[in-house]
Amino acid sequence: DGGITQSPKYLFRKEGQNVTLSCEQNLNHDAMYWYRQDPGQGLRLIYYSQIVNDFQKGDIAEGYSVSREKKESFPLTVTSAQKNPTAFYLCASSGGQGNQPQHFGDGTRLSIL
Amino acid sequence: GENVEQHPSTLSVQEGDSAVIKCTYSDSASNYFPWYKQELGKRPQLIIDIRSNVGEKKDQRIAVTLNKTAKHFSLHITETQPEDSAVYFCAATLYNNNDMRFGAGTRLTVKP
């Protein structure tokens, strides 16, 4: 969907470095999500946010951090504590509580230098 | 929490044949079940979804069935075409909970 923009498309991280992945949506959706996708695996939830200034950990939150200061934006920081960060990261949003489809961005592929 | 299992992991069919992908879920309170299609290097896109008050839903060549008693749901694609080749993910979520759980995916290949 053109309503969700992730940047950059490709990102490289050096050892010990924190990097931030951007996710912006103009769909006026309340809820936003970050997923990690590894080859041959499904999408695993890192963090999600149902409203501004509130977010919840998913299954694999360790080594990641998020903020939700604006409804449109939900950036993800991959910290140096995340020892295996190489993956495809997908951001999504949905229009409210459960029973709503999630709309995805084009993803960011993160690699280690 | 919810656990979603998806089978098969790979599926190869001849063009024109039907394809069926099955998912099971663990939490009987789950009530929304979307299916996503992801082409190589692209974003997952919703293709069909079903809510727990419905047993079957169709959209042209795609249908989804839900068996709440057995806690499984299936995606059916009829008259498959090469452009149906992709990875398909099922998912399940609880009402009033945005913690959607995805299956591991099925790589469908449609041979011309």
- pLDDT of B1 strictly over 80: no
| pLDDT in the model for residue B26 | 94
Percent with pLDDT over 90 in chain B: 81
Partner residue facing B43 (CB), from A42, A90, A101: A90
Residues 10-69 of A with CB under 8 A from B: 31, 33, 35, 40-45, 48, 50, 56, 58
> A102 or A65: which carries more pLDDT confidence?
A65
Contact list in B for residue A100 (CB cut-off 8 A) is 32
Task: Calculate the average pLDDT of chain B.
Answer: 93
**Per-residue pLDDT, B96:** 61
How much is the pLDDT for B75?
Answer: 98
pLDDT at A96: 65
The yes-or-no verdict on residue B2 having pLDDT over 90 is: no
What pLDDT does B8 receive? 97
Tens digit of each residue's pLDDT (9 = 90 or more) over B31-76: 999 999 999 888 999 999 999 888 999 999 999 999 999 999 999 9
CB within 8 Å of A2: residues ≥ 6 apart: none
Q: What residues in A contact B7, CB-CB < 8 Å?
A: none
What is the Cα–Cα distance from B43 to A105, expressed in whole angstroms? 6
**Chain A contact for B24 (CB, 8 A cutoff):** no
